[in-house]
């Protein structure tokens, strides 16, 4: 209803047929909308909704000729529209994601881009958004997703050993410069997330996918405990002010005690745990498991030793 009013203001008079076609409704539905507008308006200064406070149309043209001709309008006369800069930002985001949507959805993305471009108050600026290129080893994965086929590959797990995996690939996602495959793993009998840079010998099989999962149903967060393949469950204590650093891990966070919270999360590799600690030195402490505590402690000790002996830091 809100979008029809400014349209009629700009395009009146217009036939019921053309108006209905524009909004994808039946002619009877459009007539019903117009009849509702006949008794719609604002209270006005009197607060009683007098004649000048209501939408008005040429009644005879409407009833006799099926023509909608607005003769009085109230309230907002313009549809809110994006500026050229706002439209450019939205278009850039849609272009960025268009490479990872399913082929049958790509036309919808293109249609939305064109709609935003046409509806902007000014011509959108040309913004080029570059994503990390899909690595060569991941190219067959994109084909398998498009063709609904299964794949096999060797995968370097969190313990540093190779495992043979058979997967129904569902979706490719990119975070920073790293591409991830999300799919149903037959070995684990559940959904998993795999780093493509840890895959070896990717092979597209002749068997069709036997697990139909809608890519849109997958959570946006990659690094949650159930989905990260061969992940390491760890417990950390972190300053309450730095909890936002855990947003990508879908961590379970306890209530703060003395400005500190305890969080349970899953990391794919101990390297990732070291990166987390490095993001907030002094405010993140690894509590368990013991081998993770030892790994981070050794890494921190080595770093401190190197820093102490670096001639540049001693100067």
pLDDT in tens, 84-106: 888 888 887 787 676 666 666 77
**Reported confidence tier of residue 314, pLDDT bands at 50, 70, 90:** very low
> Is 258 inside any structural domain?
yes
Confidence of residue 228 (pLDDT cuts 50, 70, 90): very low
The last residue of one of the domains, among 72, 101, 128, is 72
pLDDT tens string 6-49? 777 777 788 989 888 888 888 888 888 888 876 665 555 555 55
d(Cα 246, Cα 288) in Å, to the nearest integer? 16
Task: Tell me, yes or no, whether 287 lies in a domain.
Answer: yes
Do 247 and 185 lie in one domain? The reply is no
Same-domain pairing of 109 and 56: no
Residue 207 inside a domain? The answer is: yes
Closest CA to 172 of 137, 148, 142: 142
Give pLDDT, residue 297: 85
For residue 287, what are the domain limits?
Answer: 232-311
- Same domain assignment for residues 213 and 239: no
Quote the pLDDT of residue 130: 61
64 shares its domain with 109:
no
Please report, for the domain that includes residue 164, its CATH number.
2.30.30
Q: What is the mean pLDDT of the chain?
A: 77
How far apart (Å, rounded) are the C-alpha atoms in residues 229 and 185?
A: 9
At 153, is the pLDDT very low, low, confident or very high (cuts 50, 70, 90)?
Answer: very high
| Band of residue 113 on the pLDDT scale cut at 50, 70, 90 | confident
Q: Name the band, by pLDDT with cuts 50, 70 and 90, for residue 225.
A: very low
In a domain, 224, yes or no: no
pLDDT for 76 beyond 70: no
Q: Per the structure, how many domains does the chain have?
A: 4
Question: Of 60, 93, 119, which closes a domain?
Answer: 119
Mean pLDDT of 295-301: 82
Residue 84 CB burial class (10 angstroms; 0-12, 13-18, ≥19): middle
pLDDT of residue 136: 85
For residue 269, give the CATH number of its domain: 3.30.70
Which value, to the nearest 10 degrees, does the dihedral of the CA atoms of residues 61, 67, 69, 73 take?
110
Residue 281 resides in a domain: yes
Q: Tell whether 111 and 149 lie within a shared domain.
A: no
CB 261 within 8 A of CB 244: no
On whether both 90 and 62 belong to a single domain, the answer is no
Residue 221 has pLDDT above 50, yes or no: yes
Q: Is residue 144 part of a domain?
A: yes
Let me know if residue 124 belongs to a domain. Answer: no
pLDDT score of 159: 62
Picking from 217, 252, 274, the residue at the C-terminal end of a domain is 217
pLDDT at 226 over 50: no
Residue 223, in any domain of the structure: no
Q: Are residues 97 and 59 in the same domain?
A: no
Q: What is the pTM of this model?
A: 0.41
Q: What is the pLDDT of residue 202?
A: 93
Residue 166 has pLDDT above 90, yes or no: yes
**Tokens 């046409």 belong to residue:** 118
């Amino acid at each position: 209803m809100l979008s029809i009013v400014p349209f009629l203001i700009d395009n009146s008079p217009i036939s019921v047929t053309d108006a209905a076609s524009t909004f994808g409704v039946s002619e009877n539905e459009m007539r019903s909308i117009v009849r509702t507008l006949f008794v719609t308006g604002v209270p006005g200064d009197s607060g009683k909704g007098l004649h000048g406070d209501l939408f008005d149309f040429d009644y005879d043209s409407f009833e006799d000729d099926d023509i909608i001709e607005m003769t009085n309008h109230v309230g907002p006369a313009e549809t809110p529209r994006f500026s050229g800069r706002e439209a450019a930002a939205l278009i850039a985001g849609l272009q960025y994601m268009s490479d990872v949507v399913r082929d049958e959805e790509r036309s919808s993305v293109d249609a939305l881009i064109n709609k935003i471009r046409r509806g902007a108050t000014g011509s959108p600026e040309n913004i080029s958004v570059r994503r990390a290129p899909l690595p060569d080893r991941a190219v067959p994965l994109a084909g398998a997703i498009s063709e609904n086929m299964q794949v096999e590959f060797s995968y370097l797990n969190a313990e540093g050993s190779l495992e043979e995996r058979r997967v129904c690939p569902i979706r490719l996602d990119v975070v920073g410069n790293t591409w991830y495959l999300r799919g149903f793993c037959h070995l684990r009998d559940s959904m998993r997330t795999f780093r493509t840079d840890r895959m070896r010998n990717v092979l597209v099989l002749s068997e069709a996918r036997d697990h139909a999962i809608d890519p849109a149903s997958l959570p946006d967060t990659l690094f949650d405990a159930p989905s990260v393949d061969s992940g390491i469950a760890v417990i950390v204590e972190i300053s309450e002010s730095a909890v936002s650093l855990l947003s990508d891990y879908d961590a379970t966070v306890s209530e703060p005690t003395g400005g500190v919270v305890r969080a349970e999360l899953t990391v794919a590799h101990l390297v990732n745990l070291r990166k987390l600690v490095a993001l907030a030195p002094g405010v993140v402490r690894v509590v368990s498991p013991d081998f993770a505590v030892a790994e981070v402690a050794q890494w921190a000790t080595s770093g401190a030793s190197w820093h102490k002996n670096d001639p540049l830091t001693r100067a």
